[in-house]
Amino acid sequence: MECGLIGLQGVGKTTLFQALTAHAVPIQIGSMKPNVGIAPLPDPRLERIAELIPPEKIIPATVQVVDIPGVPNGGGASALNQVLVHIRNVDAIVQIIQCWGGEEAAGSIASMNAELILADLVVAEGAVDKAARAARSGDADAKKRLSVLEAVQNMLGEERAIREHEWSDGERGILKSYGFMSAKPILYVANVGEDDLLGTGSEAMVVQSEAEKAGTTSVAVCAMIESEIAEMEEVDRGDMLASMGIERPAIGVLAAAMNQVLGLSTFYTAGDKEVRAWSIPEGASAPTAAGAIHSDIERGFIRAECYHCDDLFELKSEKSIKEAGRLRSEGKGYSMQDGDVVHFLFNV
């Protein structure tokens, strides 16, 4: 699944992308093509598990990030359409808002929302006409599709994002087939200046307020500093963070929020060889989680022996967890919980 970084031109979007991907992706300057990379998810729980079950390797979960070209100011319909095509293809949106240099955060958010809603309305109007013709033949699926599309058209006509409505699973499937951008889950990122690292400034507070109105969350990050930290050797990062009064880079908070907006949760596998975090859809079954590791494990799934990482943090060892009766044996119907540490038994 992919998170798309969007924003007006010059808001620090690509700088944030470089911070997320640790400068591992060559950047295409001035291109209308997106930059695509993999961002590791900094995870304090993973680090603590590895302290208690020391492995040869520690492997974090990852999220795919797409740095979509900035929405042009006065760049014309053609340039805008190139940007919108890329936004339609991602699973969730992360909008970066510049919160320094006198920029007005509320205006940036409103401008982007208006562009997405207007583009969705054009798609919806054409889709309604097509669905109406199909529905006249008596096709039940076409009638259901038409009903959803008409509701969408009405919302967009009222300048309301599609995500504001509670849709059923079936309705969400219909919406996804059209790539409606204002239906995608969204996360707001306040790109703050070096003098507001905690995000308590007025414009960052505006972003937080707008996120609450939209029913989502916001994260404050100084993209420039996070990019500089990402370029440093691990041994040097501590001194820089200490000099700024920061315990951890904010990029970890952002990455976790991106995972959440994608509707993902994390489980862990732990042993002498490696301690690893895995991302799966929230509420996924144990066999589905097993399939994230290898399709053979899902196919031959027998059971999952698991405990929560909080049990490990409290009791300090897997042996103590077993003795305390907190090691669980779960079958195919078990829904994985965020923070589970699992050993899968399978036979193929």
Comparison of pLDDT for 138 and 130, the residue scoring more: 130
Distance CA(232)–CA(19), nearest Å, equals 11
Question: Residue 309: which domain range?
Answer: 283-346
Of all residues in the chain, the percent with pLDDT exceeding 90 is: 67
pTM for the whole structure? 0.89
| CATH number of the domain to which 333 belongs | 3.10.20.30
Domain assignment present for residue 307? The answer is yes
> What is the number of other CB atoms lying within 10 angstroms of the CB of residue 76?
8
197 pLDDT above the threshold of 90: no
SS3 track for 282-312: CCCEHHHHHHHHCHHHHHCEEEEEEEEHHHH
Domain assignment present for residue 263? The answer is no
Domain assignment present for residue 289? The answer is yes
How far is CA 103 from each of CA 191, 192, 200, 202, 212, rounded to the nearest angstrom? 11, 11, 16, 11, 20
Are 332 and 285 in contact, with CB atoms under 8 Å apart? yes
Domain assignment present for residue 320? The answer is yes
Comparison of pLDDT for 134 and 161, the residue scoring more: 161
Residue 331 CA, chain-centre distance (Å), reads: 29
Number of H helices, E strands in the chain: 14, 12
Q: What is the structure's pLDDT at 11?
A: 92
Model confidence at 134, pLDDT cuts 50, 70, 90, reads confident
**Each residue of 281-311: pLDDT tens digit?**
999 999 999 999 999 999 999 999 999 999 9
Q: What is the structure's pLDDT at 141?
A: 86
Q: What is the structure's pLDDT at 77?
A: 65
**Each residue of 135-162: pLDDT tens digit?**
888 778 888 999 999 999 999 999 999 9
How far is CA 136 from each of CA 43, 139, 234, rounded to the nearest angstrom? 53, 7, 64
Comparison of pLDDT for 102 and 334, the residue scoring more: 334
Q: Which long-range contacts (CB under 8 A, 24 or more apart) does 156-159 make?
A: 156/117, 156/120, 156/121, 156/124, 156/182, 157/121, 159/114, 159/117
Q: What is the structure's pLDDT at 70?
A: 84
Residue 199 DSSP symbol: S
174 pLDDT above the threshold of 60: yes
CA quadruple 283, 286, 288, 291: dihedral sign: positive
Distance CA(143)–CA(123), nearest Å, equals 18
Angle at 6 between CA 43 and CA 231, to 5 degrees: 45
Model confidence at 168, pLDDT cuts 50, 70, 90, reads very high
Comparison of pLDDT for 240 and 221, the residue scoring more: 221
**Each residue of 63-75: pLDDT tens digit?**
999 999 887 665 5
Domain assignment present for residue 99? The answer is no
Of all residues in the chain, the percent with pLDDT exceeding 70 is: 98
**Each residue of 24-44: pLDDT tens digit?**
888 877 778 899 999 988 899
Please choose, from the candidates 115, 81, 93, the residue with its C-alpha nearest in 3D space to the C-alpha of residue 6. 93
Q: What is the structure's pLDDT at 31?
A: 74
Distance CA(218)–CA(108), nearest Å, equals 15
78 pLDDT above the threshold of 70: no
For residue 146, give every residue at least 6 positions away whose Cβ sits within 8 Å of its Cβ, in sequence order, or none.
Answer: 128, 131, 132, 134, 135
Domain assignment present for residue 17? The answer is no
Best mean pLDDT range from 138-142, 143-147, 249-253, 342-346? 342-346
The mean pLDDT of 308-320, rounded to a whole number, is 97
Q: What is the structure's pLDDT at 148?
A: 94
Residue with the two structure tokens 């974090």: 60
Model confidence at 326, pLDDT cuts 50, 70, 90, reads very high
Angle at 52 between CA 321 and CA 322, to 5 degrees: 10
Counted domains in the chain: 1
**Sequence letter at residue 248:** R
273 pLDDT above the threshold of 90: yes
107 pLDDT above the threshold of 80: yes
Distance CA(62)–CA(97), nearest Å, equals 24
The mean of the pLDDT values for the chain is 91
Q: What is the structure's pLDDT at 342?
A: 98
Q: What is the structure's pLDDT at 76?
A: 53
Are 230 and 251 in contact, with CB atoms under 8 Å apart? yes
Residue 110 DSSP symbol: H
Domain assignment present for residue 226? The answer is no
Model confidence at 235, pLDDT cuts 50, 70, 90, reads confident
Are 72 and 32 in contact, with CB atoms under 8 Å apart? no
Domain assignment present for residue 142? The answer is no
Please choose, from the candidates 180, 301, 176, 197, the residue with its C-alpha nearest in 3D space to the C-alpha of residue 241. 197
The mean pLDDT of 82-88, rounded to a whole number, is 87
